[in-house]
């Protein structure tokens, strides 16, 4: 059973959790679409040319930098929230739980592994993007751009895995948590 402190922390974290999550969703979408637009400017990929008509026009480099910075700020804000609310248990991963015979325990562990996948992807995208923007020429730009683009596609896979793991963890009720975390408790 949860202690009174844990119940209070969960209740007090609802609104910040929802706001930070939607901030991450919006900035991730914006980062990916502006990044794909940048990639489509210099690449002959049929897929990128197809989606090019859906992409933003104009100062996309600037918007890409702003959205990537905002995404990073949202993630840091979420980590600070977890730390301040003493909720780091949401991210604690016990690899042995991945082999648990209990379905709920196993899916909780898979979900946490998916969270960590996002943190690794974000860090790698920040490093590769930062090197291309702030230190061009330190590493071969074409290679960095290819890795950065692969990371953007990995984020698309991450989103699918994140939604799937949420559904497997608790069905529609778990998905509704993004609207109000109290629905899951």
- The predicted pLDDT at position 15 comes to 82
Taking the mean position of all CA atoms in its chain, how far away is CA 133? 21
What Å distances lie between residue 100 and 105, 107, 115, 116, 176, CA to CA?
A: 6, 9, 19, 19, 26
In this structure, the dihedral spanned by the alpha carbons of residues 64, 83, 11 and 155, taken in order and rounded to 10 degrees, is: 30
Averaged pLDDT for residues 131-146: 92
Answer left, alpha or beta for residue 157, where phi above 0 means left and psi between -120 and 50 means alpha.
alpha
% pLDDT > 90, the chain: 50
With contact defined as beta carbons under 8 Å apart, do 32 and 25 qualify? no
**Residue predicted with more confidence, 68 or 15:** 68
Averaged pLDDT for residues 51-64: 77
- The predicted pLDDT at position 10 comes to 47
Give the pTM.
0.80
Name the token pair of 148: 């950065």
* pLDDT-based confidence at residue 174 (cuts at 50, 70, 90): confident
148 burial class (0-12, 13-18, 19+ CB within 10 angstroms)?
buried
- The predicted pLDDT at position 9 comes to 46
> What's the whole-number average pLDDT of the chain?
85
């Amino acid at each position: 059973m949860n202690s009174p402190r844990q119940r209070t922390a969960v209740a007090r974290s609802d609104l910040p959790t929802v706001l930070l999550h939607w901030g991450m969703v919006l900035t991730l979408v914006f980062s990916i679409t502006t990044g794909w637009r940048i990639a489509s400017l210099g690449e002959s990929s049929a897929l990128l040319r197809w989606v090019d008509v859906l992409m933003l026009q104009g100062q996309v480099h600037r918007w890409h930098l702003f959205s990537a910075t905002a995404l990073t700020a949202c993630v840091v804000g979420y980590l600070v929230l977890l730390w301040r609310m003493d909720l780091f248990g949401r991210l604690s991963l016990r690899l042995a739980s991945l082999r648990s015979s209990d379905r709920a325990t196993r899916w909780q562990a898979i979900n946490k592994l998916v969270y960590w996948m996002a943190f690794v992807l974000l860090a790698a995208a920040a490093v590769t993007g930062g090197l291309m923007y702030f230190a061009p020429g330190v590493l071969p730009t074409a290679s960095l751009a290819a890795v950065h683009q692969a990371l953007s596609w990995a984020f698309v896979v991450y989103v699918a895995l994140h939604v799937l793991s949420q559904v497997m963890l608790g069905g529609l009720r778990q998905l509704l948590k993004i609207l109000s975390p109290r629905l899951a408790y």
